């Protein structure tokens, strides 16, 4: 089981240990221009920490700073690589972008909104990023589900199920979802479940609770909830959530556990 709060930090440290100083300068004028493979230093923000990373930039610049759309690439030790593709403003990651970190055969992708060098995903983008952390298996979320979550971000999370009553609760069939991996109509479902494993980690300045749960028909679910919860191992509980995807992970018995992925808005 991987810890959500330490993955990005450890990969950034590997990249920093392989970075050197740069000397090449980008053109400095008010007129937008395009450069290729220019040496620059960008600042990444992770919580209260900042990291200066040296690398190569290809894209648009104004006054010597990345401005517009571009690609930044950096190499670390042992073949590790760091790539950001997306929007820049005043030399920093700003707007939508995709960061890809490859280290020791593992790939981590951070797709979403950036603000002054910090990954600041929307709620929907955040659930998609959680899918890259490989907690109960990796997964990706469709743009339609991300859009639904962002349009209803006040529900993710909510502390009371009363806040959900105005939402249309959809019928749910685990067999159908495992077959098609999508709902006929995107929306919340209500499930009564048994908690097999419950974990809580620090996550992007808040808390992330992730649960492995089962229903009465022995279907397994991986639930992700952007807050703390009073549900513990072996508890029964009710969840309101949106089905996002399917995934699987290697279990301690040497087999594979298949799960339906849920972005939970209420657990209690």
How high is the pLDDT of residue 152?
93
CATH architecture of 143-267: Beta Barrel (2.40)
Residue partners of 190: CB distance under 8 A and separation at least 6: 169, 172, 238, 239, 240
User: So what's the pLDDT on residue 167?
Assistant: 81
What's the pLDDT at 31?
A: 78
Query: What pLDDT, on the 0 to 100 scale, is given for residue 168?
Result: 84
| Segments making up each domain of the chain, as ranges | 7-120, 143-267
Q: What is the pLDDT of residues 16-41, one digit of tens each?
A: 544 444 445 555 667 789 999 999 99
Query: What are the respective helix, strand and coil percentages of the chain, to the nearest 5?
Result: 15, 50, 35
User: Which pLDDT belongs to residue 22?
Assistant: 46
Q: What is the pLDDT of residue 202?
A: 94
Average pLDDT in the chain: 90
Enumerate residue ranges in the chain where pLDDT < 70. 1-29
CA 149 vs CA 68, 101, 116, 169: distances in Å:
28, 26, 24, 14
Q: How many CB atoms lie within 10 A of CB 186?
A: 16
Distances in Å between the Cα of 152 and the Cα atoms of 113, 132, 188 are: 18, 23, 11
Kindly state the DSSP code that residue 175 receives in the 8-state scheme: H
Q: Specify the pTM.
A: 0.87
Residue with tokens 């995807």: 245
Q: How far is CA 150 from CA 34, 86, 117, 130, 231, in A?
A: 34, 21, 22, 15, 25
What's the confidence (pLDDT) of residue 97? Answer: 98
- The DSSP secondary-structure symbol of 171 reads P
What span, in angstroms and rounded, lies between the C-alpha atoms of 251 and 254?
Answer: 6
What does the radius of gyration of the chain's CA atoms come to, in whole angstroms?
21
């Amino acid at each position: 089981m991987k810890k959500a709060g330490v993955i990005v930090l450890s990969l950034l440290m590997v990249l920093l240990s392989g970075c050197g100083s740069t000397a090449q300068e980008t053109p400095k004028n008010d007129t937008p221009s395009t450069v290729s493979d220019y040496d620059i230093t960008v600042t990444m923000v992770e919580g209260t920490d900042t990291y200066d990373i040296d690398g190569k930039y290809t894209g648009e610049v104004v006054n010597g700073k990345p401005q517009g759309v571009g690609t930044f690439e950096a190499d670390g030790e042992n073949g590790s690589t760091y790539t950001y593709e997306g929007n820049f403003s005043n030399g920093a990651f700003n707007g939508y972008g995709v960061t890809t970190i490859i280290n020791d055969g593992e790939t981590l992708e951070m797709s979403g909104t950036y603000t002054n060098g910090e990954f600041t995903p929307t709620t929907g983008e955040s659930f998609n990023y959680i899918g890259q952390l490989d907690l109960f298996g990796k997964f990706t979320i469709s743009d339609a589900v991300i859009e639904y979550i962002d349009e209803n971000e006040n529900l993710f999370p909510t502390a009371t199920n009363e806040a959900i009553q105005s939402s249309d609760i959809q019928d749910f069939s685990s067999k159908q979802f495992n077959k098609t991996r999508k709902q006929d109509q995107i929306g919340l479902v209500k499930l009564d479940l048994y908690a097999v494993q419950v974990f809580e980690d620090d996550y992007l300045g808040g808390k992330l609770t992730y649960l492995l749960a089962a229903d009465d028909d022995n279907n397994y679910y991986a639930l992700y909830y952007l807050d703390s919860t009073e549900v513990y191992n072996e508890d029964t509980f009710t969840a309101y959530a949106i089905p996002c995807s399917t995934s699987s992970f290697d279990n301690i018995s040497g087999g594979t556990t298949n799960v339906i992925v849920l972005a939970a808005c209420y657990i209690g």
